[in-house]
Structures are given as C-alpha cells and as structure tokens.
Chain A
C-alpha cells in the first residue's frame, strides 16, 4: 500500500501571513502530531483518489470517535518512511469496523527529527492537495451506509454518534 493516511486539523497547517510558505506552524505539530509512547497512528491507503477507499478510512476513524464532526484526512507516501528508517508496524486499529482494523499501522520509535520529517511530508502533501475534508453530513451518510452494509452496528457507536444518526435518519 503506497500511502499512509492520518486525521489532521487542516486549518492548523495554514501558514498565512505569519509564516513563510515552507515553514510549519508549531500548533499544527502540537495539535495533530501528538505521540503516545513515541508512536503515531496511521491508516494504509492504496488509492487516495478512490472515494470509496478513502471513505473507509474516514469510517474507521469516526466510528471510534465520541461525536460526529467534519473530518480532515491527509496522506503521505509510505516509501518515505522506509527510506528514512522510520518503523511502520502493523497494529489493529481501535475501530468497531472489524474489516478495517488490519489497515491500521503504528509509526513507531519517533524522535524529534523523525517527527519533524513527518510534519514536513504532511505540509508538502497539503501543498499538493493531498487532503480530503468530509463534511458532517458526509460523515453521517458514510456511517449510515456502513450500518446498512453490516460493517458496523449502531450499538457499537458512542452515544452522541448514535443519537445523531437516529436524529438524522430515524433509524
């Protein structure tokens, strides 16, 4: 799989007038690249331009969330990790969608230099439009569709997510 996708907050990566175009605002790193045990969570992605495929990553993420909001996804070339000696370890994702759990990987043993590399790749990717924002309504539609296809059950969702789905579509 040539890409690794991650949830971000798109606007935090905007340089605006405050930074030069090649600079990365610190807020982007501290809000979107918060490591745990020096590890970052990513999802494997073959064809980012394929809506169905990228929607599945969105589904994996939003079904483990505790509320429904819009979602920003970005993706970076997986080969870069290998060439920089950054460990990419398969690890089951925390999502109730069982069929998607194995698409998750941990990018591990991150130090400041490696984290900074990842930040640069994300910033470069965003400048080349490697990014997809899902609106709240789209997210609701993706969850509804997954429930219809038995990929996930309504009972597996967090109470607020379940309420939103009930409210929108009276399921």
Chain B
C-alpha cells in the first residue's frame, strides 16, 4: 500500500508536524488515530529530505515494534505498509503554499466567528482554541502571519483589536514579539486597537511594556487613565 506524506508545518531547524494518512497508531488509552508526529526538518531552502524520511521511518519502526508486542499478527500486517517516500525540495515548497492556504482559511474562519459571536471581556470565545492550535501547529509561520495582519490594511482596525484581545488571553511567542504587537497597536490611529494593546500589555505583564506604556502619548482621557492605572498595577 502506498502512502502519501504531507507536511502541515515546519520550522527552521526545529521540529515539524507530519501527518501520514492511512497509518494508524494505537494509543495507550485504547483509542487510535492516524499517525501525527514530530519530525526534524531543516530550512525551507534545504528541506533535509532524507532526514525527514529517516525520522518518519524511525517512528513507523517504533510503531511496528509496538504492534508486534501487542499482537504478532498485527505486527506482520504493518510490514506491508511500504514504501515510504523521500521528500524532495519541490514537495516542501508545495507544502509552504499549503501553509499559506491554510492560514488564509483560518482568517476566513476567524472573520466568521467574530461576526457570529462578539468578543466579551470575562467570557471565553470559540476563536481562542483555534488561535492556540494555529500558534502551536504553525510556530514561526503563525508569528509572522499574525504580525502581517496587525501591520497591513487587509483587516479593519476593529477586527485587529478583537484579534489582539483574544491573543492577550494566552501568552504567545516571545516577549519581543508581544512588545512588537503592543507597539503596533499603540501607534494606531484607531482607539479600539490602542485600547486592545493596553489590555494585552495588562495581561501579558512583560517587563518591557512599562517603558512602552510610559512613552505612549494618549489623547483620549479615559484611555489615558486606564494606561496610568495599568502602569501602577504592573509596577506594584
């Protein structure tokens, strides 16, 4: 039986998710699912194809050993699951386009969710889970994708503010990334986005936000008051 190997995300020199349809794993809980594991990958330009394939094979051999332990007949059946393809650079480039397509689809999902359900302080929103998964699965691609949303005009300021309010409910990426997003928000002409940036600063509590908030000149009185009270809270 031939199987198809599709990369759903990768990171420079880091671990990447590999999804292999038709190869099923058994879980200790008794359930099962298609193999969805981490493999080592190198940069986009040098995909480390053999490394990828080797790692996948290692995982499959591990699974085969497990099947043999659980049931020898099941183990023998898994031996027929060959061959495994070796990835080429072209396939990896296709996979990059796949990531962009998936992130575009995610944007549409977020739009729809925001329209259906307003974001309310104090209450969870369905998009939080989606964002958490995207950040976990897409790593640096999600990082630059989110920055591109905040710095481009393809989303309205109000939608960006909603997105930032949801992101502030987790602690994504690095402090540098978070400070950059807060800075983009604070420098906006739109008060919703500035307000969301202060809320993010309040939630993330990164030491660097104190200077950012102190140096921000706010012309709206109630928002300026909020900033000064958040500063007091952060410095306490």
Which residues of A line the B interface, CB within 8 A?
7, 9-12, 14, 16, 27, 30-31, 34, 61-62, 65-72, 131, 133, 135-138, 160
Contacts and interface: CB of A to CB of B under 8 A. Distances in A.
B185 to A, nearest CB: 12
A160 B122 CA distance: 10
B121 A71 contact: yes
A135 B229 contact: yes
A16 B191 contact: yes
Nearest to B229: A135
A137 B203 CA distance: 10
Interface in B188-236: 190-192, 195, 199, 202-203, 220, 222-223, 225-226, 229-230, 233, 236
Interface string B147-173: 000000000001001000000010000
15 contacts: A9-B121, A10-B195, A10-B222, A11-B195, A34-B118, A61-B122, A67-B124, A68-B122, A69-B199, A70-B202, A70-B226, A71-B122, A133-B225, A135-B230, A138-B233
B233 A137 contact: yes
A114 B143 CA distance: 46
Contact of B199 (A7, A30, A66, A70): A70
B233 A69 contact: no
Contacts of B229: 133, 135, 138
Interface in B9-57: none
Contact of B124 (A14, A66, A70): A66
A30 B118 contact: yes
Contact of A135 (B120, B191, B233): B233
Nearest to B198: A70
Nearest to B193: A11
Contact of A133 (B118, B192, B222): B222
B192 A11 contact: yes
A69 B122 contact: yes
Given A71-B122, A137-B202, 18 more contacts: A11-B191, A14-B192, A27-B158, A30-B118, A61-B122, A62-B122, A66-B122, A66-B123, A67-B124, A67-B169, A69-B121, A69-B199, A70-B121, A70-B202, A71-B121, A135-B229, A135-B230, A138-B233
Nearest to B220: A14
Closest 9 CB pairs of A and B: A65-B122, A69-B121, A137-B233, A11-B195, A31-B118, A11-B192, A14-B191, A69-B122, A135-B229
Contacts of A160: 124
Contacts of A30: 118
B121 A135 contact: no
A71 B122 CA distance: 8
Nearest to A139: B122
Which of A62, A68, A133 has the largest count of B CB atoms less than 10 A from its CB?
A133
Contacts of B120: 9, 31
Which of B120, B161, B203, B220 has the largest count of A CB atoms less than 10 A from its CB?
B120
A60 B96 CA distance: 49
Contacts of A34: 118
Contacts of A67: 122-124, 169
B106 to A, nearest CB: 23
Contacts of B225: 133
Contacts of A11: 161, 191-192, 195, 223
B181 to A, nearest CB: 18
Contacts of A10: 195, 222
B202 A135 contact: yes
A82 B222 CA distance: 30
